[in-house]
Amino acid sequence: MRGKHALPSHSSVEVSGMKAAIYKGIGQIDIEEVETPKISDNEALVRVGMVGVCGTDLKTFSKGHHMFRPPCVLGHEFTGRIVEKGRNIDIDVDDAVHVFAPYIECGNCALCLRGVPELCKRKHWIEGALAEYVKVPGEIIQRAALRSHEDIPESVLTLTEPLACAIHGIEKARIASGNKVLVVGSGPMGLLIGSALKNMGSDCLISDIDKSRLRMAEKCGLEAIDFSEKNFSEFLMREPSYDSVVLANDKKELVSSLIPLVLPGGTFQLFGGMSKDTRFEIDPYHIHYREVDLVGSFGFSEKDFKKAFGFISGDPDSFSTLITAVFDLNDIHNAFKAAKDKSNIKVVVRIT
């Protein structure tokens, strides 16, 4: 989901060296002292505040990832304060907390002009944020560095990027207020999708087989259903009743089982990422005669990021339930361990 995150530049700067969590390979991440990035005229230097640990970070740490070649710095769901700016950057340097989009589309390429900016191949990127400082391109500073209100917990702001992905998925599935939606999987992204749907007035049911996850869903104010074997078999006997079904996990075997539950003209969305070699079968009857659309979702756009920030700014207490643990940077190993624990939803690393 992300581009390659290289180590910060090793040019000498006025700011002294900084600490960074260096990913060195599967199961290996160490806190080391590296040189602080030096910015150009079209960049700003940000002192990182907090960073959310996402599924991509966990996958990279546990199994490796072709887009993150060690040594590198992980982390992209982050907040911070702008401490230095290049001469071409028009923004105040003060103590305000901002949340930063880890990337934004170029806005000018063929894909952007076709209306799919999330697929832009010329994105402006930020390098890994699990470090005390990170340099941010001017395009992101000007378009997607969003200043927070003082009453919003900084940890909650780290949810802006994953919530943007959830909102993008909701829009791709054409879900509207009042629609009846089944979200399958109550991991962090499933719960964010559910919270966003609740925020926009949709009738959402969230499902899982893990009882601790189901309790988390209920704690977030979501209606939950246990998809253990007997319950799931009975559930499949129901008549189609959902405007949309969102598969928020990678269980390919659920696709053919759940498509019949979508109302004619509705959508079935593959939100959870699956490996490139994944294959599954579906009954084309539902696609042709019932016009159920099978849709995908990948990343987010600048518009989605700003909409997510608006959701969080408007109801921070609702989203704060999703933050279940906060660790300091020096405790990075326990942070990753906690993020793998299903009793947690979202784990955040406090940098400064």
Residue 111 inside a domain? The answer is yes
| Separation of CA 262 from chain center | 26
CATH of the domain at 278: 3.40.50.720
- Considering the domain architecture, whether residues 66 and 147 belong to the same structural domain is answered as yes
Range of the domain at 247: 174-296
- Considering the domain architecture, whether residues 24 and 60 belong to the same structural domain is answered as yes
- Considering the domain architecture, whether residues 143 and 112 belong to the same structural domain is answered as yes
Q: Which amino acid is at 312?
A: I
Residue written as tokens 């906690």? Answer: 338
Residue 88 inside a domain? The answer is yes
Distances from the Cα of 48 to the Cα of 38, 172, 188, 350, angstroms:
15, 32, 23, 9
- Detail the DSSP E strand segments found in 76-175: 77-85, 98-100, 103-104, 124-125, 133-137, 145-147
3 state SS of 239: coil
Residue 54 inside a domain? The answer is yes
- Considering the domain architecture, whether residues 180 and 157 belong to the same structural domain is answered as no
Residue 205 inside a domain? The answer is yes
- Considering the domain architecture, whether residues 292 and 306 belong to the same structural domain is answered as no
- Considering the domain architecture, whether residues 157 and 27 belong to the same structural domain is answered as yes
- Considering the domain architecture, whether residues 157 and 204 belong to the same structural domain is answered as no
Give how many domains the chain has, as a whole number: 2
**Among 276, 296, 316, residue at a domain's last position:** 296
- Considering the domain architecture, whether residues 223 and 251 belong to the same structural domain is answered as yes
Q: Please return the burial class of 350, using the count of CB atoms within 10 Å of its CB with bins 0-12, 13-18 and 19+.
A: middle
- Considering the domain architecture, whether residues 263 and 305 belong to the same structural domain is answered as no
The total number of residues written for the chain in this structure = 352
Tens of pLDDT, residue by residue, the chain (352 residues): 443 344 443 333 455 799 999 999 999 999 999 999 999 999 999 999 999 999 999 999 999 988 899 999 999 999 999 999 999 998 888 889 999 999 999 999 999 999 999 999 999 999 999 999 999 999 999 999 999 988 899 999 999 999 999 999 999 999 999 999 999 999 999 999 999 999 899 999 999 999 989 999 998 899 999 999 888 999 999 999 999 999 999 999 999 999 999 999 999 999 998 888 999 999 999 999 999 999 999 999 999 999 999 999 999 998 999 999 999 999 999 999 999 998 899 999 999 8
What the block records as the tokens of 256 is: 């053919």
Q: Please return the burial class of 90, using the count of CB atoms within 10 Å of its CB with bins 0-12, 13-18 and 19+.
A: exposed
- Considering the domain architecture, whether residues 156 and 228 belong to the same structural domain is answered as no
